[in-house]
Structure 1
Amino acid sequence: MEKSLYSSLIPNEDIQRLLWIPGIGKMNAFTILLEVGDINRFQSEKNFFSYCRLTPSARNSGGRVKQKSSSKDGNKYLKIVFSDAAVHALQYYPVIRRYHNSKLRKKKKQVAKAIISKEIARIVYYVLKYKTDFNNKFKGVDLEQKKSVQWPRITSPDV
């Protein structure tokens, strides 16, 4: 499946921008672009988070508010992609790992990972919305490690 998508999606400018974001590889970028479609249909980043299942669901009844961490509202594939991206970002980027560890001091492991997923989704939202390149920062801190300049390139059609 990847080979059939590769030739049509790799030349896409949005895919090229997504590939520079920490934790996002080719298949994750393909999934994000194909599942999101037009990013302009989301009025704000909160709507995008909700669509990606990155916000807790709320059950309101009789003045009481209950929140659950897992929700069936939204796109399950985007939830998987951003969770996977968070795991990869934690493995390869020390700045993101330090931020995660600071969250672990006060929150559960699952919640801390969800916060990383949400931050990656925020980066994706702004990169797609404003058609800008990733600025190599996570929460305002420069990432020490940068993806290889050669990796997310368009291959020649003869190969």
Structure 2
Amino acid sequence: MTSIPGIGEVIALIILSEIGDISRFPSKKQLTAFAGLDTLVFQSGKYLARSGKISKRGTPYLRKVLYMTVTAGISNQSTGTSNKVLRDFYDHLLEQGKTKRVAFTATSCKLLRIIFGILKSNTTFISQS
């Protein structure tokens, strides 16, 4: 997990301790729900409304660590962005007209999906750019 730019040894250990055994989560959606980054859905009869808010039903520590990691990942440094994949995704969402908060939450979900893929496949992070 430390192959992801912006994640060091301490952050990786915190994430691993919060997630635990990755085989508990058969899909990335279940891991997203565990982190509390899934959206709330209100339904009554045929009416279906999405509030746009995250559920926050999972572990708050994992959300905080993802927040810090995404903050470091999308920040512009003198040497360029820390994590080009996250920064490009964040910028793409802003160009689509999403608010900064929505784009930031979606980028946190993206990072969680990357972590899920790395842990499930037992590989390292390879940037496509």
| TM-score, length-scaled by structure 1 | 0.68
The partner residue of 1:84 within 49, 68, 87 is 68
C-alpha distance in structure 2 between counterparts of 1:77 and 1:65, whole Å: 30
Residue 98 of structure 1 corresponds to 88
Q: Is the 8 A contact 2:42 2:50 kept in 1?
A: yes
In the alignment, residue 33 of structure 2 is paired with which amino acid?
S
The partner residue of 1:115 within 99, 106, 109 is 106
Q: Is the 8 A contact 1:23 1:84 kept in 2?
A: no
Unaligned runs of 5+ in 2: 76-81
Q: Is the 8 A contact 2:86 2:111 kept in 1?
A: no
Within 5 A, what are the aligned runs for 1:129-144?
129-135=120-126, 137=127, 141-142=128-129
Per-residue deviation, residues 23-47 of structure 1 (Å, max 9, x unmatched): 2223321111111111011111111
Residue 21 of structure 2 corresponds to 38
Residue 66 of structure 1 corresponds to 49
Unaligned runs of 5+ in 1: 1-17, 143-159
In the alignment, residue 82 of structure 1 is paired with which amino acid?
L
Residue 128 of structure 1 corresponds to 119
Structure with bigger strand share is 2
Shift of 1:98: 3.5
- What number of residue pairs does the alignment pair up? 121
Secondary structure of the corresponding residue to residue 20 of structure 1: coil
In the alignment, residue 34 of structure 2 is paired with which amino acid?
Y
Percent identity, aligned pairs only, is 32
CA RMSD in angstroms comes to: 1.7
Kindly report structure 1 stretches of 4+ aligned residues shifted beyond 3 Å.
Answer: 93-96
Residue 79 of structure 2 corresponds to none
| TM-score, length-scaled by structure 2 | 0.82
